[in-house]
Structure 1
Amino acid sequence: MKKILILLLIIGLHLSCFGQKNWDWGGPVDPLQAKFEILHYTLDLEILPETQTISGRSIVKFQSNEELDVLRLNLIDQYVVSKVLMNGEEVEFSHENDLLDVKPIDCTCNEVEIHYSGKTPIALNPPWTGGFTWEKDSFGNHWMGLSSQGEGAKIFMPALDHPSSEPLEGVDLIFTVPKGYFVASNGLLQSTSEEGEKVQYHWSSQYPINNYNVNFTLGVFYSEKSDFQSSSGETFPIEVIVLKENQAKAKELLEVLEVSARTHEKFFGPYPWPDDKLAIVETPYLGMEHQTINAYGNNYQFVPMGQTKYDWLLHHELGHEWFGNKVSVGDWADFWLHEGITAYGDWLFYQEHDGLQAYLEKAKEVGQGIAHEKPVVSKPNSTEEEAYHPEIYTKGAYVMHSLRWLLGDEVFFPFLKALASDQRWTYENQIDTDDFYSFLKEFTGKDLTRFLDLYLKSTKVPEVKITPKGSNEYRVSLEGIKFEMPVEIQTSEGLEKVMLGKKKVIVSSESRPIVDPNGWLMLQK
């Protein structure tokens, strides 16, 4: 319970506002931005730790089926745009209200190059209230982390900043920093070059990527790496990048990361980014699921779990490589598909390494903290701030736990892997809650709409009613639902499964029966 309260307190801090400006994102797609899609971003920046500024350019490759009068991108006003080029020529633009409106020239070109610079926005409560985090390590070296899930990419680069927009052909990320520093980023490191007192790193990924997953972290680091043999049969790099001062902890961290990766592969399928890498980087804030370079700031708080070690933060953020990064939503209304399924993956670590009873105890512990205050699925076209609350984690995970009970392991676990691998909502394609409903019905042959609507779209919880009926008999029902579902009942004779709903069912027992003793369902008892 203590862990749940701490987690909910941490999550609650996300809802605090920026001291400077609240940069939310999502909501309805801007009509001007609905006219084009992004193919590729090239970000070429110099990072200046002494002044906490960035300076450089971004090349945005796009496509449209119509001639554009305005190419509208998002970039916060805190940065100064010095010039915008198309086909090598300077073009007209306006930059206000965090919008960069470019007037395209009469050409067949599909790229725009934006030059900009400025002081970076400071994260007040990263990663929930994001921005740049500038700190120093114990040796006095600069240490910078970036977090932007709640704000979008516009706090560091010009972008079509909506969760439905991902660059279909990936990103190239080029960073110039003072010599002695390293920048960890998405994809694979293509080259390192030095000139004078500066060093440049070029990272590249050809995979689609959500805007807030584009990321970079600066510091004086030590790397521990190995090869990871995936369940797919592919081999690719696995790496932990830690502060130089934590070099002695890197090997153990790599071992913990590998155990988590293998556990996720068992339940979710092969790691989604085999052409890049599986890596984490130590950050000056708790963590975030940045594609192929997850942020890790949990201070090596490993706990024993069966015969292995568990780091809840590392495991959770790694799970987002499947649900959040590979399987992504285009509307924050469906945020639970990122957080709820990934949080459920955390519970599966308990089962895999400490047994079913540990898993069930974890589920009960989480269930006790669910207040049922808001629907898990928020209104269509939600912003990130509107959709984000603790129950997209906890109740979302519990819905998956209950589905396991309703479907049985022999159906549920193949369904989970199939969901993470179906091309209709992986990589460049996206998913919503209705897709989840329809795929569940398609895969299992069962229509569970009423069950899912109850727990995802309302705050109602069925109430267990038990009333004595003569000697050694009890009437048992569930009030508040219009359908039946299988429920375990503990009687004096043992466990039995019955279909329960509003209609009363007669149960024989020499002692008062216990409904759902293993906690598979969210019920008022």
Structure 2
Amino acid sequence: MKKIVLLSLALAGIQSMQAQLMQDKENYTRGDTLRGSLRTERNFDVREYHLNIKVDPVKKHIGGYNRIVFVPQQKLTSMQIDLFENMDVDSIVFHGRQLPYRREYNAVFIENKNGFQKNKKDSLTFYYSGNPIAAVRAPWDGGFDWKKDKNGKPWIATAVQGTGASAWWPNKDHQSEEPENGMTIKVVVPNGLMDVSNGRLTGKKDLGNGYTRWDWKVTNPINNYDVALNIGDYVHFGETYKGLDMDFYVLSYNLEKAKEHFREVKPMMDCFQGKFGEYPFKEDSYKLVETPHLGMEHQSAVAYGNRYMKGYLGRDLSGTGIGTKWDFIIIHETGHEWFGNSITSSDIADMWIHEGFTTYSEVVYTECRWGYEAGQTYVNGLKKNVRNDKPIIGDYGVNKEGSGDMYPKGALMLNTIRHMINDDDKWWKLIKEYSETFRHMIVDTEMVLNFFEQETGLDLEPVFDQYLRHTAIPVLELKREGNGTTYRWIADTENFNMPVDVSVNGEKIRLHPTEKWQKLDTPPKGISVATDRFFVDVKVGN
């Protein structure tokens, strides 16, 4: 398990890209708690997974086992492993004997009257089979995506963020848990097809029964929802670029198209490694894998389904024209390798840590390629996608994320903090140190806040609180008073304070508003608030 630190469907022009997990609930069930909370039965660290399954495309059936290597943090007589209730548990074997178990919702409670011993490294093998849930509209609903390519050959992928990795393989399905020593993934598929999974290909074996097994090894810790199968008529090309192995797996008939289109990966890697630090999974290589669904940030095997188009299926989410200069899925999903896969939130309530930073990586790439003004134009174009419908931070302990505003609003908050700092050398140093300091770690909002405050010396708690825990953005109220103007913040956060730049009769100055009225010797009509650099509203009164 990673160290725990204490301290995307788009409706173009209407709303932002959102994670597939956006399902509002008025009430939570015990099933939500079993999935979302770290209960006693989950008080163990996973060290390794060894997944070995067979996929039958005709019957849409899978079967096999997962050997789980773990260390209990206390003596446990019952251990919770998650597997969706529609899947069959064939047996659970521990030291050569089958253990009894009981099922409740999507949780499997494995009983051991002798107990799993505290701090003792051990393992069990979980055999299972069944027809996993099929995604109707992957990746926006989770499960197996059973498709065929244009030649009629099976083309299959998994995409389960939010839905849960336990939709198709047994594991400790909580976002804070990642196997410390990585995992092996062995997938048996019909001859003539290839499976591409995470990590590096270590071999393949013709089993002599019409099936071939493809073996993959992941060295680094990995999010459960990132573990992926991609099965199809794939061909491979790749190269080593500045010390990083880059591999591309595409449908055979798209090879030449892909070779041309994926040229964008090199300037992207130059940009991201320059701004965020070395690619965080170098040992496992970087891969793009063509998929029948739009895309997903599957660690070291980024799913790509943008049909070799610029923008988001040819559209610009910013509405500025800049978003069609680059391939949205390549840039956004690869940005997740740093923000989401390397730095992972401990609870999906804090998913803004994944999506806000990764949406900001789109701004970073734009700035790397076309300059600061282009980046600012792009990020400001995202404002139209902010709905301010509910807080960005969701409910903890019940597997519930917050508003889809975590994408654009999260990026706009970061852009605001950048301009609060008002020193780009410090800003880029901060972002890089954040990425490198918490490489391969589990984090939460408080950790991010504490780090940003420590490194900047700024009081950022009111800013984080307002943008992340409340619906509205801060409003700078200007009111004419005599020949001048009084001004203050209107915000939900008590004692809200945040500097903001304004132009007074053409001269740029910095104000330090609070919730109390302050005076400026210029009438409102002579004041222009820098809303292009600070994500705030302005209210002008008489």
Q: By the TM > 0.5 criterion, same fold?
A: yes
Deviation at 1:511, TM superposition (A): 5.1
Equivalent residue, structure 2, for 1:32: 41
List alignment gaps of at least 5 residues for structure 2.
1-9, 315-320
Equivalent residue, structure 2, for 1:232: none
The Cα offsets for residues 483-502 of structure 1, whole Å up to 9 and x where unpaired, read as: 44322222333333222333
Deviation at 1:16, TM superposition (A): 5.6
Report the CA distance shift for 1:7/1:29 in structure 2 as closer, same or farther (over 3 A).
farther
Equivalent residue, structure 2, for 1:337: 353
Whole-Å Cα distance in 1 between the matches of residues 218 and 355 of structure 2?
24
Deviation at 1:87, TM superposition (A): 1.8
Whole-Å Cα distance in 2 between the matches of residues 84 and 200 of structure 1?
23
Equivalent residue, structure 2, for 1:442: 454
The Cα offsets for residues 99-137 of structure 1, whole Å up to 9 and x where unpaired, read as: 222233758771111221111210123212100000100
Match of 1:219 among 225, 232, 252: 232
Equivalent residue, structure 2, for 1:399: 413
> 2:260 aligned with 1:245, yes or no?
no
Corresponding residue SS for 1:69: strand
Most deviating of 390-399 and 319-328:
390-399
Deviation at 1:245, TM superposition (A): 2.0
The Cα offsets for residues 395-433 of structure 1, whole Å up to 9 and x where unpaired, read as: 1111111110111212221111111111xx432x31111
Report the CA distance shift for 1:378/1:524 in structure 2 as closer, same or farther (over 3 A).
farther
Whole-Å Cα distance in 2 between the matches of residues 278 and 309 of structure 1?
23
Match of 2:389 among 373, 378, 388: 373
Retained in 1: the 8 A contact 2:91–2:127? yes
Counterpart amino acid of residue 139 in structure 1: N
Report the CA distance shift for 1:124/1:388 in structure 2 as closer, same or farther (over 3 A).
farther
> 2:114 aligned with 1:114, yes or no?
no
The Cα offsets for residues 199-224 of structure 1, whole Å up to 9 and x where unpaired, read as: 11110112111110111110001222
Match of 1:207 among 220, 231, 244: 220
Report the CA distance shift for 1:198/1:6 in structure 2 as closer, same or farther (over 3 A).
farther
List alignment gaps of at least 5 residues for structure 1.
230-234
Corresponding residue SS for 1:485: coil
Counterpart amino acid of residue 8 in structure 1: Q
Structure with bigger RCO (C-alpha 8 Å, 6+ apart):
2
Equivalent residue, structure 2, for 1:198: 211
Equivalent residue, structure 2, for 1:410: 425
Whole-Å Cα distance in 1 between the matches of residues 362 and 60 of structure 2?
36
The Cα offsets for residues 124-181 of structure 1, whole Å up to 9 and x where unpaired, read as: 2321210000010000000001011112211111111111111111110001111111
> 2:178 aligned with 1:166, yes or no?
yes
Equivalent residue, structure 1, for 2:317: none
Equivalent residue, structure 2, for 1:187: 199
TM-score normalised to the size of structure 2? 0.87
Whole-Å Cα distance in 1 between the matches of residues 402 and 298 of structure 2?
18
Match of 2:22 among 10, 15, 32: 15
Retained in 2: the 8 A contact 1:224–1:254? no
Corresponding residue SS for 1:310: coil
Deviation at 1:246, TM superposition (A): 1.1
Report the CA distance shift for 1:510/1:66 in structure 2 as closer, same or farther (over 3 A).
closer
Counterpart amino acid of residue 39 in structure 2: D
Match of 1:503 among 517, 520, 523: 517
Most deviating of 493-502 and 74-83:
493-502
Equivalent residue, structure 1, for 2:306: 298
Corresponding residue SS for 1:125: coil
Deviation at 1:449, TM superposition (A): 1.1
Deviation at 1:92, TM superposition (A): 2.4
> 2:340 aligned with 1:320, yes or no?
no
The Cα offsets for residues 73-114 of structure 1, whole Å up to 9 and x where unpaired, read as: 111122222222112233323345322222337587711112
Counterpart amino acid of residue 293 in structure 2: Y
Whole-Å Cα distance in 2 between the matches of residues 192 and 126 of structure 1?
28
Q: Residues 271-290 of structure 1 correspond to what in structure 2 (within 5 A)? A: 271-290=279-298
TM-score normalised to the size of structure 1? 0.90
- Supply the RMSD in Å over aligned alpha carbons: 2.7
Identity %: 26
Deviation at 1:72, TM superposition (A): 1.9
Equivalent residue, structure 2, for 1:357: 373
Whole-Å Cα distance in 2 between the matches of residues 12 and 191 of structure 1?
34
Retained in 1: the 8 A contact 2:13–2:384? no
Counterpart amino acid of residue 100 in structure 2: E
Most deviating of 110-119 and 504-513:
504-513
> 2:157 aligned with 1:142, yes or no?
no
